[in-house]
Amino acid sequence: MSIDELLLNGEEKMEKAVNALKKEYAGIRTGRANPLILDKVVVDYYGVPTPLRQISQVSVQDGQTLVISPYDKSILKEIEKAMIKAELGITPNSDGMVIRLTFPPLTEDRRKEISKDVKKIGEEAKVAVRNIRRDMTDDLKKLEKSENLPEDTVKDTQDEIQKLTDKYIKIVDENAAEKEKEVMTV
């Protein structure tokens, strides 16, 4: 492994940590209808576990309501079961043709609670980035021993690793602040 591979590998892992954070934030309810909340809903479609968004059309009716129109109306009951099983915190309402999910406005206490969760998830992502930094530093030390790297090269590479870490920590902080603002906005 070369120093370039080490840095590239580390950056890739940090990027994945940030993407995982964004995906987790997308599933957090903010009081507004967001189709991404349905990403974790898996429907038993003729014996095959299938993501809800592959077997139905999801649209936002107004700021507070999601409308799920299955392509195959005969699986409406299965979709309802899957939504209840996914514990979205919202009861699905079916009229035999479509399912409606109405998002109630969040209370101030609930907003604060969600905001704490957002911070916690952000902290976990920062810990993941720092763990990647630690692994990169360990790999650098191994590389230093096996390749007899000059001290200057090792020091420069450690600086690069720290710059990468700072960059991704900043991205995590920005995402957390953005999500927190979204949650607290009425």
pLDDT of res. 84: 86
Mean pLDDT of the chain: 89
Own/partner long-range contacts of 179-186 (Cβ < 8 Å, ≥24 apart) = 179/25, 179/28, 179/118, 179/122, 180/115, 180/118, 180/119, 182/30, 183/28, 183/30, 183/31, 183/106, 183/111, 183/114, 183/115, 183/118, 184/111, 184/115, 185/30, 186/31, 186/105, 186/111
Residue 53 has pLDDT above 80, yes or no: yes
pLDDT at 27 over 80: no
Residues 113-146: tens digit of each pLDDT? 889 999 999 999 999 999 999 999 999 999 888 8
In which band, very low, low, confident or very high, does the pLDDT at 178 lie, cut at 50, 70 and 90?
very high
Domains and CATH numbers, the chain: 3-26+107-184 (1.10.132.20), 35-102 (3.30.1360.40)
| 7, 168 Cβ separation under 8 angstroms | no
With a pLDDT cut of 90, the percent of the chain lying above it is 42
162: pLDDT strictly greater than 90: yes
Can you give the pLDDT at residue 30? 73
**What's residue 186's pLDDT?**
67
pLDDT the model gives residue 62: 81
Q: What is the pTM of this model?
A: 0.74
